[in-house]
Structure 1
Amino acid sequence: MQNKVEVKRVTDPEDLEQVFAIRRKVFVDEQNCPPELEWEFEDESTHFLGTVGDVPAGAARWRKTDKGYKLERFAVLQEFRGKGMGRALVQTVLDNLPEEAGYIYLNAQLTAIGLYEKFGFVKEGPQFEEAGIQHFKMVKKS
């Protein structure tokens, strides 16, 4: 039986707590990111919750910066990886950006570069470390 993958924009405090719980499990517990680096810009960000069936499985957000629109905090719980949640999150976040969003970028962990390339993102600049994890800046070109 195939469970349906869905992603929705969320503002409800209960949904946001699920978003933050997914991020805590992936970034803080699994990847050992410092908690103080994980929670910033929450009030100015647009948040998304991904579910498989009715089970919370993934999270992401975007926010407007002085450079453009930054996609951030893509997280998929381990048991749901490889099942389309990452693709669904990226597509939904991109679909939700304002029409005037011209410059769209993100900082991609090395393991996620292939996913973002499928959506027209290209690496820009040198590899760098963020929260103890190697990344590349990627910019949407198509």
Structure 2
Amino acid sequence: MNNDIRVTKVSNPADLEKVFAIRREVFVVEQNCPPELEWENEDVSIHFLATVNGEPAGAARWRKTDNGYKLERFAVLKQFRGKGVAQAVVQTVLDDLPADAGYIYLNAQVQAMGLYGKFGFVAEGPEFEEAGIQHYKMVFKGSR
């Protein structure tokens, strides 16, 4: 079966609800992240929704911080994993950043570090815990 993967920047309430539903399923339900830690900085973030054959499948966001541009909340629903959705989301988010975006970083869950590494992100600093999950800060060293 051919998977038609599309990743779009979204801002209307109906699409944002799909984004938040994906994050709720992946982070709060599946990974047991505290809900109060999941919902922050929504109004200052640029949100993305990934679909597979028209079905909501993944989400992510980026925002400008005092340090640079932070990529966050990458989530793919379990039934869509292993189909290229995460790669499409990472590439779309990177492509959407301003051309002059200098410092680009994210906090990667340990099991996702290989994905981000393929795009030129490099781990910096020690492993740390965030919302009960082990992470590494990763900084973009690739080219866009």
SS across alignment from 1:128: strand
Counterpart of 1:94 in structure 2 is 94
Cα distance in 1, alignment partners of residues 93 and 70 from structure 2:
10
CA distance in 2, matches of 1:49, 1:90: 11
In structure 2, the partner of 1:134 is 134
Deviation by residue 1:14-69 (Cα, 9 ceiling, x = unmatched): 00000000000000000000000000000000000000010000000000000000
Report the TM-score when normalising by structure 2: 0.98
Partner of 1:26: 26
The one-letter code of the counterpart of 1:64 is K
Which runs of 5 or more residues in structure 1 are unaligned? none
Tell me the SS of whatever aligns to 2:43: coil
Quote the offset at 1:3 in angstroms. Answer: 2.0
Q: Give the whole-Å Cα distance in 1 for the aligned partners of 2:3 and 2:137.
A: 33
Equivalent pairs counted in the alignment come to 142
Give 2:78's aligned residue: 78
Instruction: In structure 2, give the amino acid aligned to 1:33.
Output: C
Q: Which residue of 2 aligns with 1:38?
A: 38
Paired position in structure 2 for 1:118: 118
Q: In structure 1, what is the equivalent of residue 58 of structure 2?
A: 58
Over 2 Å off, 4+ runs: none
Note the C-alpha offset of 1:100. 1.3
Deviation readout 1:82-107 (Å, 9 max, x if unpaired) = 10000000000000001110000000
Letter in 2 for 1:120: G
Structure 2 counterpart of 1:7: 7
Which residue in 2 is equivalent to 1:105? 105
Look up the SS of the partner of 1:33 in the other structure. coil
Gap runs ≥5 in structure 2: none
The separation in 1 between residues aligned to 2:76 and 2:124, in whole angstroms, is 24
Rounded Cα–Cα distance in structure 2 between residues aligned with 1:3 and 1:75:
18
Q: What is the TM-score when the length of structure 1 is the normalising length? A: 0.99
Partners of 1:137 and 1:118 in 2: how far apart?
Answer: 15
Question: Aligned partners of 2:6, 2:45: CA distance in 1, in Å?
Answer: 20
Work out the percentage of aligned pairs sharing the same amino acid.
Answer: 73
The two structures, once aligned, show a CA RMSD in angstroms of: 0.4
